[in-house]
Amino acid sequence: MNVAAGWIVLAVVIALFALTSIRHDARARAQGLSVAPLSVTLFRIALAGIGGAVLVLVCNSNRGILIPLRGVPWVVPFVGLVILAWSVLMGRTALGRYLYAIGASPEAARRAGVNVAAVRTAGFMFSSLTAAMAGIVYASWIGSISTDIPGGNYSLYGVAAAVIGGASLFGGRGKPIQALLGGFVIATVYNGLALMSVGAAVQYMATAVVLIVAVTIDAVVRRRSKAAV
């Protein structure tokens, strides 16, 4: 999108985020629930605005070599919409709660009346839909597609991004936005090593080390939480 459109989209997104946050807190206070102070909500909105402004400024800088290239890539709002949709699904629908319950304990979910097979099938369907959208974005990025793309590597990066972001390999915990943040970490490691002209083998090993550390921390935290209970 062009430079002006990036700023307009940012303003609309921040305005909607501010309106939603303030209305959510006001509704919770009206129902007698405990919520964060208004100053905390305003600080969160301001922080989101600053982060968005930095992103737009970086994207609006000239990235071209032979021809000027400015503006926020369309993939940014696209990924934002995907994260928003899956966040609503996981956090505000019965299907999302069932997915968390099955991840934590399939047998307990079954005893609670959840159709484990149907919910698992729906989870795999949504996962496949997300992978298909990622494939479309990948094809649009390289301008073509082939049958010999390194799918195994991307599967490793996907798992690593989710775990590093805070999702548990043992199930029952994790949010879509956390997987996105984990993806930023993986992309930083991968691109940083590539810019340093490090070989592919070292890149894979570095990603594996980060993944192992994240899984180890997850296992330790889970074991301690069980011991505390």
Q: DSSP for 95-124?
A: HHHHHHHHHH-HHHHHHTT--HHHHHHHHH
State pLDDT tens for residues 190-215: 788 888 887 778 877 877 787 788 77
| Contact predicate 156/163, CB 8 Å | no
Maximum mean pLDDT: which of 30-34, 72-76, 164-168: 72-76
The rounded distance, in Å, linking the Cα atoms of 182 and 177 is 9
Burial of 182 (0-12, 13-18, 19+ CB in 10 A): buried
DSSP state of 166: T
Given a cut of 90, whether residue 178 has pLDDT beyond it is: no
Residue among 184, 183, 76, 89 at smallest CA distance from 127: 89
Half-sphere exposure of 16 (CA within 13 A, CB side): 7
| Mean pLDDT value across residues 42-69 | 88
0.75 exceeded by pTM: yes
Per DSSP, the three-state class of 24 is: helix
Q: How many residues does the chain have?
A: 229
Residue written as token pair 């934002």: 80
The rounded distance, in Å, linking the Cα atoms of 165 and 168 is 9
- Report the pLDDT value the prediction gives residue 181, as an integer from 0 to 100: 86
Residue predicted with more confidence, 47 or 67: 47
- Domain residue spans of the chain: 1-72, 74-148, 150-229
Terminal CA-CA length for the chain: 51
CA 141 to chain centre: 20
- Report the pLDDT value the prediction gives residue 28, as an integer from 0 to 100: 86
Given a cut of 90, whether residue 163 has pLDDT beyond it is: no
| Mean pLDDT value across residues 159-178 | 81
Task: Extract the tokens encoding 91.
Answer: 């956090």
Q: DSSP for 154-213?
A: HHHHHHHHHHHHT--TTSS---HHHHHHHHHHHHHHHHHHHHTT--HHHHHHHHHHHHHH
What φ, ψ does residue 16 adopt, rounded to 5°?
A: -65, -40
Q: What is the mean pLDDT of the chain?
A: 85
Residue written as token pair 């974005």: 137
